[in-house]
Amino acid sequence: MILIEYRLPDMDGLEFFCKLKQQQPTPSIIMLTEYGNENIAVQAIKSGFQDYLVKQQVTAEILNTTVESVLLNAPKIEHKLIDKEVEISNLKQIQEELRLSNERFQLASRAVECVIYDWDITFNSVIRTEGITAILGYSLEEIEPSIEWWMELVHPEDKNSLFQPLQLVLANQKCN
């Protein structure tokens, strides 16, 4: 929670709050000012201040009640922070599981001589295993990570039987 004076050396409290709101989450803020101005009070509340107090009218009891009221709303921000921490922790765990899974896949694909050529249609990218070098005799530098490279290897007589089902699948994907 922040208690802020309306008149600041370089800007007013409303300008400060506008800059502060760019951070997430925004803390609870009470504006305290020497100059009671109804327009500023309305602008402050509309901007998101939790309360507006005029120094000449503030007693210890009013300040205490206002701060308690604002603090009752503050746990919502704290819960959001905790949720973000849990989300980040879950993402880190998922990343680690993915890294381990990829590592196991790489070890398994090296242990057997096979070609795995995975084409991601959405991004038109290809992932292939190193077994392709032993089976097809190409070096990894010669093998372009594209579907076009793979299609050039298909024998001309086999292209129709390969391309027709592929085009049906792609057309079906566009419809869905």
pLDDT of residue 71: 81
Q: Are residues 87 and 60 in the same domain?
A: no
Question: Are 83 and 69 found together in one domain?
Answer: no
Closest CA to 36 of 14, 53, 13: 53
Q: Yes or no: say if 92 and 84 are a contact pair by the CB < 8 Å rule.
A: no
CATH label of the domain that carries residue 133: 3.30.450.20
Domain stops at, among 94, 111, 128: 111
> Based on the domain organization, do 36 and 67 belong to the same domain?
yes
Based on the domain organization, do 88 and 131 belong to the same domain?
Answer: no
Please tell me whether residues 44 and 95 are part of one structural domain. Answer: no
pTM greater than 0.85 (yes/no): no
Mean pLDDT along residues 82-111: 84
Task: Provide mean pLDDT across the span 67-83.
Answer: 68
In terms of domains, do 105 and 125 share one? no
Calculate what percentage of the chain has a pLDDT beyond 70: 90
The CATH number of residue 7's host domain is: 3.40.50.2300
Summarize the confidence of residues 41-56 as an average pLDDT: 83
Using CB atoms within 10 A of its CB, is residue 119 exposed (0-12), middle (13-18) or buried (19+)? middle
**What is d(CA 87, CA 82) in angstroms, rounded to the nearest whole number?**
9
130 and 163 housed in the same domain: yes
Mean pLDDT, residues 135-164: 85
Model confidence at 129, pLDDT cuts 50, 70, 90, reads confident
**Among 73, 100, 134, where does a domain finish?**
73
| Residues 43 and 63 occupy one common structural domain | yes
* Number of domains within the chain: 3
Q: Say whether both 81 and 67 belong to one domain.
A: no
**What per-residue confidence (pLDDT) applies to 78?**
53
- With beta carbons less than 8 A apart as the criterion, state whether 31 and 8 touch: no
* Shared-domain flag, residues 90 and 68: no
Q: Which domain, by its residues, includes 153?
A: 116-176
User: Do 31 and 13 contact (CB within 8 A), yes or no?
Assistant: yes
Question: Which H helix or E strand runs over 82?
Answer: helix 75-111
Task: Quote the mean pLDDT of the chain.
Answer: 81
Q: Which of the residue ranges 23-32, 45-54, 98-107 would you say has the lowest mean pLDDT?
A: 23-32
Residue 66 and residue 10 share a domain: yes
Tokens 């600041």 locate to 8
Q: What residues are paired with 94 via a beta bridge?
A: none
Q: Based on the domain organization, do 66 and 30 belong to the same domain?
A: yes
